[in-house]
Chain A
Amino acid sequence: MNVLTDNFSDYGAGFLGTLELTVYASLLALALGFLMASFRVAPVGSLRIFGTVWVAVLRNTPLTLLFFAVLLGLPRFGLVLPFEVFAVLALGCYTSAFICEALRSGINTVPRGQGEAARSLGMTFGQTLSLVVLPQAFRSVIPPVGSTLIALAKNSAIAGAFSVTELLGTYKTLNELGYSIIWTFVWIAVGYLVITLAISAVFHALERRWGVAR
């Protein structure tokens, strides 16, 4: 039981590490996911292909493999960054593929006529998407995007294997110090719960605010 109080700073550092990874990777995933979803419905063929390939490659690669590719691959091309940044890149790009598909399914729920009406008034593709289609799509993608970001928070544990400070990794130190493995993991689980329940709460609030105002 006193595993938490004795090692509060270790737990704290791990918790903050996971929190940082989650926040930064989420922002990256949302931005890239939004961009790729726009590409996938764009009138320009080459953009559609780029979006499709992006999703196919990232969604179908195991995340651990992607971490290897980013952390070991990019330095070979002369790109040397802190491991934390590489971890955010890997997590963010991976998750962006899922965000993209959630957004795209939302776009498909908006009736065709909405986009046609916008275009017939002289709006460009970008205006049609940002002013008419996405605001309506947004309402139906709140739940799946929430789930995707919760998965991202938990996936961030993989970064621990690449010597990034994060919550799950704290168990190694504590285990070596002889603390009960069960209680060590209970407190780690509580840390993850704090983050994932916070994400749930944010998306629940978003859904209450935007989800039904039709």
Chain B
Amino acid sequence: MAVDPLIELRNVNKYYGELHVLRDIDLTVGKGEVVVVIGPSGSGKSTLCRTINRLETIESGTITLDGRPLPAEGKALARLRAEVGMVFQSFNLFAHKTVLQNVSLAQVKVRRRRQEEADRRSRELLDRVGLLNQAGKYPAQLSGGQQQRVAIARALAMEPKAMLFDEPTSALDPEMINEVLEVMRQLAREGMTMVVVTHEMGFARASANRVVFMADGRIVEDRSPDEFFTHPRSDRAKDFLSKILKH
């Protein structure tokens, strides 16, 4: 499957004090692959996602991106983060900047593009997520779903090699979830490498190449969505699925 690995985690361990939140994690994400991470809350799935661009540090193990190990600090780490887009549960749009400025800022300051060029590209991306007409507004004036689509455009503006989604729809009203998922489905179809932490089982079934099921800081299953949803192997996964698929 993963012929050309882009993200590789080997033997990754992380602790919050006494709490062992990631236990011997091995995970490979190939180029163009969409990996959906699911699991009960507290299973470490968000932490896993955040270690990939080192928003969380790890105690042991290695993480490589496109063959290069993650730098620990400083400019090298910043350069690498620019290659990996991240979308947060709480959107995290810059509150003091307009929608257009949000998408353009890092293009100018990190990618060193000229302002007009950055703004032109920002408008293209905003058009793609259906929000060009909101370019002059501030984040607080948008709905949650709109903010999250801007956040995706902001991450895409850096032309990342991979995108990390940390529960991108968990803070949204139900009727706004689909507009965000639609953008993500489109990205998946275009061949973007994606790691998606989510509770949206529909998205996992339809768009994922692999489903990674986590519990208590371990990866319990790592299989195709069809196999996972129809024939989960572990009791832990069976129990989890029975709880979430019933309602």
Contacts and interface: CB of A to CB of B under 8 A. Distances in A.
B110 A119 contact: no
A121 B155 contact: yes
A132 B78 contact: no
B96 interface: yes
Contacts of A117: 86, 88, 92-94, 151
Contact of A136 (B55, B80, B96, B105): B96
Given A122-B79, A131-B109, 13 more contacts: A114-B95, A117-B88, A117-B94, A117-B151, A120-B53, A120-B55, A120-B84, A121-B154, A121-B158, A122-B81, A123-B106, A127-B109, A135-B96
B247 interface: no
A124 interface: yes
Interface in B81-105: 81-86, 88, 90-96, 105
B135 to A, nearest CB: 18
Chain B residues touching A, range: 20 to 34
A113 B158 CA distance: 19
Contacts, number: 68
Interface string A121-162: 111100100011001100000000000000000000000000
A58 to B, nearest CB: 29
B79 A214 contact: no
B239 interface: no
Given A114-B92, A117-B94, A136-B96, A124 B75 contact: yes
A43 B55 CA distance: 13
Contact residues of A: prevailing secondary structure: helix
Contact of B95 (A43, A116, A123, A136): A136
Contact of A121 (B74, B95, B110): B110
8 contacts: A117-B93, A117-B94, A119-B55, A120-B55, A121-B155, A122-B82, A122-B158, A214-B95
Given A123-B109, A123-B110, A127-B109, A118 B94 contact: yes
Contacts of A213: 96
B140 interface: yes
B134 to A, nearest CB: 17
A213 to B, nearest CB: 8
B84 to A, nearest CB: 7
B94 to A, nearest CB: 6
B95 to A, nearest CB: 6
B140 A214 contact: yes
B235 interface: no
